[in-house]
Amino acid sequence: MAVVAAVPARVQEPAGAPTPGRPTERDVLVTGGWIFTSTADKRIRNPGILVRAGKLLRVGGDLSIASPDAEQVTLAANETVLPGFFDLHAHYSTMITPRAARVDEMKAYPELFIANGVTSTFPAGESDPMGMRDLRISIDNGARVGPRIMNSGPYFGTARRGWNSATSVADVKAQVDKWAALGIKGIKTKGINPTMLRAVIEEAHLHGLTVTGHLDSGARTSVNPRDAILMGIDRIEHFTGGDAFSPDRSAYASYEHMTFDTPEFRKIVQLYRTHHTNYDATVSAYGYWGLKDPKVYDYFTDEKRFLTPYARHLVDTTKRPVNQQFENIYWTKQKEIKAFYDAGMGDLITLGTDHPSWGEYFTPFGASREMLVMTLAGIPNAAVLKIATINSARAMGVGDQLGTIEPGKLADLVIVRGDPLTDIKAVRLPRLVIKAGRVYHPEALMKSVEGLIGPTGPDDKKWFMPPQPGPDEFPQQ
């Protein structure tokens, strides 16, 4: 019989509080400038947006019903309102140096995500899942500023410390039940065998949870994305998979110099279409490990200022070797994502950054880089903005609440300088961000978390001791 560990006494869910977060009590009236609703491919003159109780009450129409004390947000002539951005591969984990442990960064990342217009995140595997749950509840309670955290819980697969691939299907399903009860919104699988993956998908879907996977070629005990799609997985990370991936070598080795005008690619694309499976390409993730394409990996703000004084001395990026395989994959992925889009699959692409930072760049700034590299690959700006908003919302099952600017949806908005339909870099460093009707000033948020990321000294055990398996890990057979 599967035994599920008792839930530890941690931060309690807010009784009666709405899970999206606590809205402002004042109306917010957004006027002037332009609006891109993510329901069409053009921006239009802003007809006026009335936010009440954290929701979009009206977009256009009679706005005179706004309360007399409504907070007024007036856009400049060329500013644009967008829906809040989603990062569906938003690693909070940072490593700082090769000898540091992977730590879920919770001191600065929540504010930095909001400052970058990222109002919703799926962490895609958590190093400290109970700590991340506490953070999510603190944000929902209004005790912290931060994005909507759609908790993923721990990895399911060998990426989780203590994972035992020989454990029973019943124990795997019991783990899914446990984390579902703790409020996760989806599951990330990585390093999982076919039997366990099927069990995770079946049990997760009973709880209404989505499942995504960092999969492989089918070599040894790995799973090819093709087979995961037939199991009913909801989203695939990194590689489209299919018959072009040879089962006698890894996905990375197969993919490095792949071309996409092939029967094998057309066949796997058709499988995504038939099963309506989302693809999270994480195009920019590989460039961080390569030569760092200067068109994408420039600094549009000083990210090093968020490191602690001690951590600044540890981060020496000049000694990081270039991973030539990942450099090759970075360019291959641009061809793949364009071929996937050109095959009519634009609605199934989502945005994920997948950058567990080592201190050179930080994840909250990655969404704009991912959008930029997609446009450089040849995807139209309007389609990229939809990928970053409504596509990703739908992929997490919340497209009826978020992802577009329409009456009745939750009021997550990003106000940027300029027109992102002509220059996608306009999404960098928004002027204002609104989440659940609360207005945030990105510059002030960034200022508030300077000097907080990383160890404070050589004895900071959180950063230099590897995490140990918890009492709820799988029994060793």
Q: Contact, 207 vs 181, CB < 8 A?
A: no
Mean pLDDT value of segment 97-126: 92
440 φ/ψ angles, rounded to the nearest 5 degrees = -120, 145
Question: Tens of pLDDT along 371-404?
Answer: 999 999 999 999 999 999 999 999 999 999 999 9
| Mean pLDDT value of segment 292-307 | 95
Each residue's pLDDT tens digit, 131-146: 999 999 999 999 999 9
Residue 425 structure tokens: 């870099």
Tell me which residue of 155, 224, 158, 145 sits closest to 192, measured CA to CA: 158
d(CA 415, CA 409): 17
Half-sphere exposure of 250 (CA within 13 A, CB side): 6
Average pLDDT, the chain: 91
| pLDDT mean over 147-155 | 97
Q: Are 256 and 333 in contact (CB under 8 A)?
A: no
pLDDT of residue 471: 47
The answer on pLDDT for 9 being more than 80 is no
13 falls in which pLDDT band (50, 70, 90)?
A: very low
Tell me what pLDDT residue 352 has. 97
pLDDT in tens, 245-263: 888 888 888 888 889 999 9
Q: Residue 257 has what pLDDT?
A: 85
User: What b-and-e string marks burial along 226-236, b requiring 16 or more CB atoms within 10 Å of the CB?
Assistant: bbbbebebbbb
Is the separation of the CB atoms in 182 and 7 below 8 Å? yes
Identify the weakest region by mean pLDDT among 10-24, 40-54, 453-467: 10-24
Q: How many other CB atoms are there within 10 angstroms of residue 218's CB atom?
A: 20
Band of pLDDT at residue 472, cut at 50, 70 and 90: low
Please report the pLDDT score of residue 17 as a whole number.
36
pLDDT, one tens digit per residue, over 352-366 is 999 989 889 999 999
| Mean pLDDT to the nearest integer, 46-71 | 97
pLDDT tens-digit map of 185-236: 999 999 999 999 999 999 999 999 999 999 998 888 899 999 999 999 999 9
For the chain, the domains span 84-404
Residue 19 scores a pLDDT above 80: no
Q: Name, in order, each residue with C-beta under 8 angstroms of 274's C-beta and a sequence gap of 6 or more.
A: none
**182, 9 Cβ separation under 8 angstroms:** no
Length of the chain: 477
* Distance (Å, whole) CA 462 – CA 295: 35
What CATH number is given for 84-404 in this structure? 3.20.20.140
Give CA 219 to chain center in angstroms.
28
Of 454, 453, 448, whose CA–CA distance to 114 is shortest? Answer: 448
